[in-house]
Amino acid sequence: MLSNYLQLILFVLLAGLAIGSAVAMVAQRNPLYSAISLVGVFIALAGLYVTLAAPFIAAVQVIVYAGAIMVLVIFVIMLLNVEEEERRPLRLRFLIPTAILLAGALFAEAAFVLYFVNEAPQPLNPTVAGEASVVGLTASVGQGLFTTYLLPFEITSILLLMAIVGAMTLARRAAVRPTDIVIPGSQVLTMHTVDPRAAGDATPVISDTTDEAARVMNINERMRTRDGE
Amino acid sequence: MVPQLSWYLALSAILFTIGVAGVLVKRNAIAMFMCIELMLNAVNLTFVAFSSFFRDVTGQLFVFIVMTVAAAEAAVGLGIIITVFRNRESLDVDDASVLKL
């Protein structure tokens, strides 16, 4: 058991690091710096979990959040070559005071609850409740996960499968690009399939019928000869 | 003086509030996404704090599931962001305020 002073100092340090990093994240205009600040928040929270005697969750926090999710975010930021947010005039100018007002209301509600609910917590069920040092260990977390909460655990795996399929579907290039010309009722024909000289012609043509679309694309003759008439 | 439960709850409230303000103020899709992650983490902190002070492991199991949901959200959300960027050449959410292309 850590001494009381050490606990206090750790809490103040880690809480300060978390709040400072969070404020820095919102204040930064460059998304990459925001991401690095967010990693600071995650590390500070992992330290707080350790002081709360939850080493398993702390390790998972570092591995999953600071490791996997933030690497994914930074990967996307670099893939898209995002630059600093440009200071364009806001379309909805009243959003900023509204945001500050709503955040203040939320914070006031939380402070109200914390001020009036100030009892020292007791273990819910003293016969079941274990020692504080045992509760957060991997063994007890795993036991809870595979006995009482087996169904949520399995549902979680289905959720991950859905996320994989969804992400692949989203990131895949669509078969029809917005610049392609589609003849209704026919197969998909891009302009340069029909005419190699028109590779640069990317104007979409809207047509209501197959005949009209074929006439606009000037492919009636070609199709007939291709059919070997 | 040992840290009390209410200290952790206050810290969590502060972090959540910063996340809410960030989502409302930011216009960059990736920055908004990261603010949502911050809010999820603030809630995780309350779960772990309650779990530790009540000496019940259930809260930490909830954190585990919340993290899974966050990972799924990251995969799908970033996929959506990439698709939006590909179609509009911009990450500003104001440019994507209309679903129609």
In the predicted model, what is the mean pLDDT of residues A1-27?
A: 89
Last residue of a domain, one of A39, A56, A84: A84
Per the CB < 8 A criterion, the answer to whether B33 and B78 are in contact is: yes
Cβ pairs A/B, distance under 8 A: 242
Is there a domain that residue A96 lies in? no
Q: 3-state SS of A24-91?
A: HHHHCCCHHHHHHHHHHHHHHHHHHHHHCCCHHHHHHHHHHHHHHHHHHHHHHHHHHCCCCCCCCCCC
Q: What is the dihedral of CA B90, A91, A32, A35, to 10 degrees?
A: -120
A158 and A186 within one domain: no
Average of pLDDT values for A25-53?
92
Q: Is A3 on the interface with B (CB under 8 A)?
A: no
pLDDT at residue A123, rounded to an integer: 58
- Could you give the percent of chain A with pLDDT greater than 70? 62
Quick check: is A100 in a domain? no
Residue A2, helix vs strand vs coil? coil
Nearest to B5 among A111, A121, A145 (CB): A121
Contact (CB, 8 A) for A110 and B10: yes
- C-beta atoms surrounding A70 within 10 Å: 19
**Higher pLDDT residue, A83 or A73?**
A73
Query: Do residue B91 and residue A80 have CB atoms under 8 angstroms apart?
Result: yes
Q: Does a structural domain hold residue A106? A: no
Rg (CA), chain A: 29
- Find chain A residues with C-beta within 8 A of B41's C-beta: 41-42, 45, 65
Where are any strands of DSSP class E within B1-101? none
- Can you tell me whether residue B48 is helix, strand or coil? helix
Q: Which two tokens stand for residue A54?
A: 């939850």
> How many folded domains does chain A comprise?
3
Distance CA(B16)–CA(B38), nearest Å, equals: 7
Chain A contact present for B64, CB below 8 A? yes
A115 against A28, higher pLDDT:
A28
The verdict on residue A68 lying in a domain is: yes
Q: Does one domain contain both A213 and A168?
A: no
Question: Exposure of B67 by Cβ count < 10 A (0-12 exposed, 13-18 middle, 19+ buried)?
Answer: buried
- Check whether residue A168 and residue A188 sit in a common domain: no
Nearest to A57 among B15, B33, B60 (CB): B60
Does residue B11 lie in a domain region? no
pLDDT band at A103 (very low <50, low <70, confident <90, very high): confident
Among residues 120-179 of chain A, which lie with CB inside 8 Å of chain B?
A: 120-125, 128-132, 135-136, 140-141, 143-145, 149, 152-153, 156, 159-160, 162-164, 166-171, 178
Please name the residue of chain A whose CA is at the shortest distance from the CA of residue B3.
Answer: A8
Is A27 in the same domain as A39?
yes
Q: Which residues of A touch B50 (CB under 8 A)?
A: 121
The CATH code of the domain that includes B78 is 1.10.287.3510
Is B99 within the bounds of a domain?
no
Clarify whether residues A161 and A189 are in a common domain.
no
Write out the residue range of the structural domain in which residue A194 sits. Answer: 175-229
Report H helices in A147-229: 150-171, 191-194, 210-217, 220-226
Most confident of A94-103, A118-127, A211-220: A94-103
Domain stop point among A39, A59, A84: A84
A25 vs B: CB within 8 A = yes
Q: Which domain holds residue B71?
A: 27-91
Residue A74 within any structural domain of the chain: yes
Is A129 domain-assigned? no
Q: Which of B2, B13, B26 is nearest residue A7 as measured by Cβ atoms?
A: B2
User: Which of A97-106, B8-17, B42-51 comes out lowest in average pLDDT?
Assistant: A97-106
Q: What local confidence, expressed as pLDDT, does residue A130 receive?
A: 55
- The answer on A78 and A1 residing in a single domain is yes
Smallest Cα distance from A216 to chain B, Å: 23
Q: How confident is the model at residue A173 (pLDDT cuts 50, 70, 90)?
A: low
Q: Looking at the domain assignment, is residue B39 inside a domain?
A: yes
Domain for residue A180, yes or no?
Answer: yes
Question: What's the mean per-residue pLDDT of chain B?
Answer: 88
| ipTM of the complex as predicted | 0.93
A196 plus A159 within the same structural domain: no
Mean pLDDT along residues B15-26 = 89
* B62/chain A closest Cα distance in angstroms: 10
Residue B73 falls within a domain, yes or no? yes
pLDDT surpasses 70 at A170: yes
Residue A143 has pLDDT above 70, yes or no: yes
Q: How near does any CA of chain A get to the CA of B66, in Å?
A: 10
Q: Does A1 touch chain B (CB under 8 A)?
A: no
Number of compact structural domains in chain B: 1
More confident residue, A35 or A191: A35
Compare all CA atoms of chain B with the CA of A7 and give the residue at the minimum distance: B2
Chain B residues in contact with A78 by the CB 8 A cut-off are: none
Same domain assignment for residues A185 and A148: no
In a domain, B46, yes or no: yes
Q: Which of A178, A183, A188 is nearest to A215 (CA)?
A: A183
Q: For residue A228, what pLDDT band results from cuts at 50, 70 and 90? A: very low
B20 located within any domain? no
**Is residue B87 in some structural domain?**
yes
Residue B96 lies in a domain: no
Whether residue A201 sits in one domain with residue A142: no
A9-23, A39-53, A118-132, range with the lowest pLDDT: A118-132
- How close B100 comes to chain A (CA, Å)? 12
Closest among B56, B66, B50, B8 to A141, alpha carbons compared: B56
